[in-house]
Structure 1
Amino acid sequence: MNVVQEQLSFAGPLAEVYINQFSAVELLYESDPSQSESWTERAVWLDQTEHTRVDRKALATRLREYNGRYNPDPAVGRAIGQLELPGTAVIVGGQQSGVFTGPLLVVYKAVTILKAAKAASDRLNRPVVPVFWIAGEDHDWDEVNHTYVLSQDLQVRRIRMHRGAMDRLPVSFTKVEAEAWDKAVSELEQLLPDSEHKAGIMELVRCCSEDADNLTAHFAKLIGALFGKHGLVLLDSSDPELRRLEMPVFERMIRQNDELESAYHETVRDMAGLGYEPSAEVAENGANLFYISERERLLLFKRNDRFEDRKGKVTFTADELLEELRKHPERFSNNVLTRPLMQDSLLPVLGSVLGPGEIAYWGLTRKAFQKLGLKMPLLLPRESFTVIDGTIQKHMKKYELSWNDVKDPEVFHRKRSAWLAAQERMQVDERFDEVVAAFGELYAPLLEELAGVESGLSRLGTVNRDKILDQIDYLRGKAKDAMEKIHETGLRHFDRIQLSLFPLNKPQERVYNLFDTLNRFGMDWIEDLLDIPYELTGKHRIIYL
């Protein structure tokens, strides 16, 4: 295995600048993780503010219960035992619970959390526990209900998970019937090519699907099976029992809601001054909290001293909302802007592993952290990879294609067309252009003569000319199709290269499912990922196998 760094632009300019030129955006972020003193200062601050966070013992008790059900490896138990002790910090990162873990980037985030925790522990000479924050409170079902694999006929195939009721509930509360699991697992089995690893992979998937009545449960079982032995602790952000521990934090968010809103709007203005647009909506009069009412997760706003959703389905005074919190904490959840605050209030967060889009919207939260007496943790870019197997490497070498050639769709199409043109027995475009030119030279004088006979004949002749040209173009297309068919094998090689590296014109890690990769390379491939040296900057790297 050879690992090479290649350039791949981030989702937005703010993340790029944060990583490469921190001083230009330090107004939006707390500290630069590339500086050693930032780590020491953060660790000292965590020690000094131990009393401000949720009680460690109560948190550890709940994490033991949750992980005992979904992620029971002894290494996880030891990690939770460490977390229970003062002085232990965490590296945390999160993601929604996707079908069969979702795209590869989810696995890369878990790998980065583990590597970053070990590196931080070595750096600070103190225990640092890796924690994966499952965003089970999110309710966007369409965002998480599918995954993709590359089929044997070179098609990017989608596997979609179906649910029963069409409620807008958090994903962790959305029921998935056994029939839906069976259908999705069957589709995965049919689409994955036969390999020496397939039977073991399908056994794992089926085992984790048993008794999983929602997507988060299945996700937790899979991530636990893959990473539990490395001590990765799982946390479901929608866990009702965890909500009870978070009640004091929600209470502060409600009592200081106007201050938080003001902080977000101030930061939007700061961003504008630096030349950036906010990557998350900062709504006017937004409470930045959700309330779960019956079968729907409702975003709250402030109107006339009341907390309401947009359509007025629920309405509370501040005191009524606080009373509801005390009675039903499980009905409350964070939005994208308050989730970082909750995470930092619950866990002793040394650093948070984030994708480029997350780094951008976290830039909105620094002043909000300060309003609650918190400090933004170190933000650590998620590692980013593209995997290129030996066959694809041979194809790229044969057709003289570089990474940059494939990355740019226009360049790739031009290279493909140039290769095809070089193989042609006849130069199709050149020959047809000659015919069209010769036809035009012969036909133009005829049209002039017809115009002298009768004007109507000239118009008829023009129509006739255009029809003939259309027929010539039709024949040109058929000739090209025939040439492509002759060179179908080579063109399939081009297609396979593009579909492997940039399916749907997106980076591989944002499309393909983990089990597509494990089916080719085996379960040890994850161990190989963990052996790749940690890259703090998150620069994109190519894994040549």
Structure 2
Amino acid sequence: MPKESISYIDTNFFSPLITDYLAENERVAEFYNRFPKLDNFEKQIEEKKNSYNGKGFRKTLVNALFEQYKDTKLSEETKKNIEALEQENTFTVTTGHQLNLFTGPMYFLYKIITAINLAAELKKKYPANNFVPVYWMATEDHDFEEISFFNLHGKKFHWNPGKSKFLGGAVGEMPTESLQDVYDLFSAEVGNSANARRLKELFEAAYLQHKNLAEATRYLANELFAAYGVVIIDGNNADLKRHFSPYMKEELLEQVSYSETLPLAQKLEEEGYSAQVNPREINLFYMAEGLRERILEKDGRFFVHDTQLSWSREEMLELLEQHPERFSPNVIMRPLYEEVVLPNLCYIGGGGELAYWFELKKYFEKVNISFPVLLLRNSVLIQTEKQDQKRQKLNISLKELFLKPHELINRKVRQISNIDIDFSPQKEHLVKQFQEMYEIAEKTDKSFLGAVKAQEVKQLKGLENLEKRLLKAQKRKLQDEVSRIAMLKEDLFPNKGLQERHHNFSEFYLEYGEDLIPALIQNLRPLELKFDILTL
């Protein structure tokens, strides 16, 4: 499988904050702990070993994981990794993702593959330790619309829950009983090839044979990645939250996350970046059946937003002690929850995720929890050999491929035209001529300066209009080439966005089947920090 790579900044799809981070720009240095280089993990291992409160808890973590896997077929690799978590020389590398229907966009796979490959690289470098790839299921999110569909062959397969309408609680508890219609449409779309039959088996077994979205997602992710020892964890667990409850208590009483993250969010803005999230005074939700709402505090009492629920300070602390599972960390506190629960070295996420982690470093320092290495997940564009041949025939470089459609078309039309459509020399000549006229006006009557300027603007505008008209005429003349360029761009960048944010993995599985994931694992390198173009 041929692989070529370009820098993330050359894709034009990543924010200045992420590209500056990857370039190790000093402006970003205060927002993270260690840069993702293999040698830097030696100190990260030592730091996590000293800060992880794992004595006694590692056994609880292992028991909780086995309990979560009780109805899921365990591979020997995953079983071995879960058991290894009891040992003090075992560490995790973690990625997290929402419970998107049938994995959602393709980058779901890239996240987990990044974790698999990083764990393998760390084992080679530090063989005295064990490294476990972890997928943290975001079962407590409550944005159902965001996860309720996937795209295949340009069509959107959307889950309409009907009588099982989502009421606003944790999405992991969403019943899957209403997914038969999606399965029927999906089955008709994919056909009956061997790869299609396997996809239909996966969908049916995951969503029609499991009662809720959390169980379905665990089954599907396990089927795809169990052979590589991936451990899937659901944070919606009373034992895990009980271990985290001291930090939730501190949050309720002292609102530590707000005071520690707000200054860093403001500093990001001052540096010219955009803060990804704004912290609230209390960054916890209250959860019950069909409910996940913000906890508020006023005049010594705690309230649940948009409900009649309220408690005194003493009642709230007693509730936390008795039922920690009713408290749910939001986007600000969930990273801390992950790092308290897991012996984790590295968090793997997309650009948006890393952006909110950059707001958290001081918070972690305040509560004495090791801040993980932050690694941008692998990003990939998959093209067929035929598409690559088209690209080369059109003389489009990989870097040019990532230009906006109109920019790419204009550039190529200029290159292949038998006339020069670039009027830059004429514009430069015109500017020089008018410079002489400015000098004459300065020496005679300065009141003419405005008239000279107006004439210069008019004539430059005229040249620009002539250039645009000529370019438009050449586009008509070269319509065949223009159409082929536009079609290639649309095929590789659906809706003018990255393929990995649109296509579902089934789009590629239909073609490559069981070879797809091994091929990705073989070719992606997490610490290269490059955008990969793979030809399958």
Residue deviations 1:71-121, cap 9 Å, x none? 521211100111111121110110001111111101000000001111122
Task: Tell me how far apart the structure 2 counterparts of residues 35 and 23 of structure 1 sit (CA, whole Å).
Answer: 20
Q: Offset at 1:240? A: 4.5
Task: Tell me how far apart the structure 2 counterparts of residues 535 and 176 of structure 1 sit (CA, whole Å).
Answer: 34
Question: For residues 70 and 100 of structure 1, do their structure 2 counterparts lie closer, same or farther at Cα, with a shift above 3 Å needed?
Answer: same
Q: Offset at 1:341? A: 0.6
Structure 2 residue aligned with 1:325, among 308, 320, 324?
320
Q: How does 1:213-228 map to 2 (within 5 A)?
A: 213-228=211-226
Question: For residues 512 and 533 of structure 1, do their structure 2 counterparts lie closer, same or farther at Cα, with a shift above 3 Å needed?
Answer: closer
Long gaps (5+) in structure 2: 419-472
- Output the TM-score relative to the length of structure 2: 0.82
Q: Which residue of 2 aligns with 1:147?
A: 150
Task: Tell me how far apart the structure 2 counterparts of residues 53 and 498 of structure 1 sit (CA, whole Å).
Answer: 54
1:97/1:219 contact within 8 Å kept: yes
Task: Tell me how far apart the structure 2 counterparts of residues 268 and 495 of structure 1 sit (CA, whole Å).
Answer: 40
Q: Which residue of 1 aligns with 2:303?
A: 308
Structure 2 residue aligned with 1:102, among 101, 104, 112?
104
Q: How does 1:84-483 map to 2 (within 5 A)?
A: 84-125=86-127, 126-150=129-153, 156-163=154-161, 164-177=164-177, 180-192=178-190, 195-240=193-238, 242-255=240-253, 257-283=254-280, 286-311=281-306, 313-407=308-402, 408-414=404-410
Q: Offset at 1:498? A: 2.7
Question: For residues 71 and 224 of structure 1, do their structure 2 counterparts lie closer, same or farther at Cα, with a shift above 3 Å needed?
Answer: farther
1:76/1:232 contact within 8 Å kept: yes
Task: Tell me how far apart the structure 2 counterparts of residues 160 and 222 of structure 1 sit (CA, whole Å).
Answer: 18
2:52/2:369 contact within 8 Å kept: no
1:54/1:346 contact within 8 Å kept: no
Q: How does 1:48-87 map to 2 (within 5 A)?
A: 48-51=50-53, 55-70=57-72, 72-87=74-89
Task: Tell me how far apart the structure 1 counterparts of residues 252 and 63 of structure 2 sit (CA, whole Å).
Answer: 27
Report the AA paired with residue 65 of structure 1: E
Percent identity of equivalent pairs: 24
Residue deviations 1:453-490, cap 9 Å, x none? xxxxxxxxxxxxxxxxxxxxxxxxxxx9xx99xx99x8
Question: For residues 210 and 290 of structure 1, do their structure 2 counterparts lie closer, same or farther at Cα, with a shift above 3 Å needed?
Answer: same
Question: For residues 227 and 369 of structure 1, do their structure 2 counterparts lie closer, same or farther at Cα, with a shift above 3 Å needed?
Answer: same
Residue deviations 1:10-64, cap 9 Å, x none? 542212212212532121111222272x311111122222436770001101111
Residue deviations 1:319-358, cap 9 Å, x none? 3222112232221111111011101100011111111111
Q: Which residue of 2 aligns with 1:544?
A: 535
Task: Tell me how far apart the structure 2 counterparts of residues 236 and 353 of structure 1 sit (CA, whole Å).
Answer: 17
2:11/2:399 contact within 8 Å kept: no
1:54/1:347 contact within 8 Å kept: no
Long gaps (5+) in structure 1: 151-155, 423-479
1:56/1:83 contact within 8 Å kept: yes
What RMSD, in angstroms, separates the aligned Cα atoms of the two structures?
Answer: 2.8
Q: Offset at 1:221? A: 0.9
Residue deviations 1:186-232, cap 9 Å, x none? 22222236645222222222222232222222221111001001100
Q: Which residue of 2 aligns with 1:501?
A: 492
Greater CA deviation, 323-332 or 85-94? 323-332
Task: Tell me how far apart the structure 1 counterparts of residues 63 and 225 of structure 2 sit (CA, whole Å).
Answer: 21
Task: Tell me how far apart the structure 2 counterparts of residues 491 and 271 of structure 1 sit (CA, whole Å).
Answer: 42
Greater CA deviation, 240-249 or 156-165? 240-249
2:195/2:513 contact within 8 Å kept: yes
Q: Offset at 1:494? A: 5.0
Runs of 4+ in 1 over 6 A off after TM superposition: 415-422
Question: For residues 351 and 338 of structure 1, do their structure 2 counterparts lie closer, same or farther at Cα, with a shift above 3 Å needed?
Answer: same
Report the AA paired with residue 281 of structure 1: N
Residue deviations 1:143-171, cap 9 Å, x none? 10011012xxxxx2101112222311111
- SS of match in other structure, 1:341: helix
Task: Tell me how far apart the structure 1 counterparts of residues 485 and 196 of structure 2 sit (CA, whole Å).
Answer: 26
- Output the TM-score relative to the length of structure 1: 0.80
* 1:26 paired to 2:29: yes
Q: Which residue of 1 aligns with 2:5?
A: 5
Q: Which residue of 2 aligns with 1:526?
A: 517
- SS of match in other structure, 1:287: coil
Question: For residues 313 and 406 of structure 1, do their structure 2 counterparts lie closer, same or farther at Cα, with a shift above 3 Å needed?
Answer: farther
Q: Offset at 1:495? A: 5.7
Task: Tell me how far apart the structure 1 counterparts of residues 308 and 125 of structure 2 sit (CA, whole Å).
Answer: 51
Greater CA deviation, 118-127 or 93-102? 118-127
Question: For residues 420 and 519 of structure 1, do their structure 2 counterparts lie closer, same or farther at Cα, with a shift above 3 Å needed?
Answer: farther
- SS of match in other structure, 1:78: helix
Report the AA paired with residue 96 of structure 2: G
Question: For residues 316 and 371 of structure 1, do their structure 2 counterparts lie closer, same or farther at Cα, with a shift above 3 Å needed?
Answer: farther
